[in-house]
Amino acid sequence: MPWYKSEALLPYIQYLEPNGEASEHFRFPVQELTQIEPDTGGYKGVLAGGKCVVGDEIMVAASLKRNRIKRIVGPEGDLPRADRGDAVVLILESEIDISTGDVLHRPGEPPVRSDQFQAHLIWMHDDPMLPERSYLLIIGTQTTPVQITDLKYAIDIDTDKHLPATKIERDEIAVCNFATANAIAFDSYAENAETGSFMLIDRISNDTVAGGMIDFGLHRGQNLSWQSFEINRDLRAGMKSQKPVIVWFTGLSASGKSTIADIVEQKLAAKNRHTYLLDGDNFRHGLNKDLGFTDADRVENIRRVAEVARLMADSGLIVMASFISPFRRERRMAREIAGNVDFVEVFVDTPLEICEARDPKGMYAKARKGEIPNFTGISSAYEPPEHADIHLYAGEHSPEELADEVLRKLKF
């Protein structure tokens, strides 16, 4: 057989058009709002599916509001139509609320809109993927925090077998469930590769850590909505004459976190403040008794604690949380879960040698002997806060003095 001299395979594959009904559905992810003329605004983007012509009726996936296309403007002026892959500005007949990240579609051809979905994930980073860790998801022009809520199984790339897994390493593939902080509009990858694929970004380093292909939306994410009640946080807090806050104490084991938090709570109680102290050991006797001390379990531990702290703050309480919480990503996740509740990170900075000298439970000694795996500061890393709201140099002052410093900075 003579040597093949025609078109190379890879460029040919890259420019293949998806075959099927998928790409026939009009999809227009809005990149930005722009001014075409001094008195004319439009929506810039690239058609991710289907086509559109002047006069077409469109809908906004997020709000379900309808409008019609008045003009289609390309790089060289007005166009009668635009097709998949065309970069254009759409000018609508009337003004409606559309933002960067919104997806426009035709009535009757909606994308899925949900905050939960299943996807195939390809991991591309040296640090392993851990369930429940928070990342940034970028899909088209939409960006939102996301958590991998369930690592269902890994896939052996040689045999295609499904393998049980608790984490995935670089170049491994897994099927996972995801939960986003905000509902997003998407299609399955099989239907539309543009609106069905995404990237994950590490929230600390900003590295791209993974790529994914959406299989389908999860119905539980589409059928849930927030229920509003007349009695809200402001009213509950007003009944207690205080402002809710989450005070998050982080530091090594035996750093003095719980001791300081306990004194803070006592002093607040003396001022008739309504408080609650969440402690790491106490949590593991109940709600988190099913968790160990692996990195993955530590992530889930902090997620649950943060959700409970937010609920308590929503009831109007001043909440103290005393947890080693060794990873910056999870402390950031806790702050995000708190949402619009004030969140104050307190770093109890005690040198390791002082913590070991205290060692009230003999844990450091056992960890040094290798009897306790995954012990923070010895065989598992502690990532100190880079910009703590309150930094306590706990090796230099008494717990009483440090508690007073916290109260002073909290202005209680």
- In the structure encoding, which two tokens stand for residue 146, read together? 């996301």
3-class SS at 337? helix
Q: Which residues are catalytic?
A: 325
C-alpha closest to that of 41 among 67, 62, 85, 71: 71
Largest CA distance in the chain: 91
3-class SS at 206? coil
Report the alpha-carbon angle 87-211-204, nearest 5: 100
Amino acid at position 135, single letter: Y
3-class SS at 22? helix
H-helix segments, 271-392: 280-285, 295-314, 328-338, 352-358, 363-368
Half-sphere exposure of 260 (CA within 13 A, CB side): 33
Amino acid at position 307, single letter: E
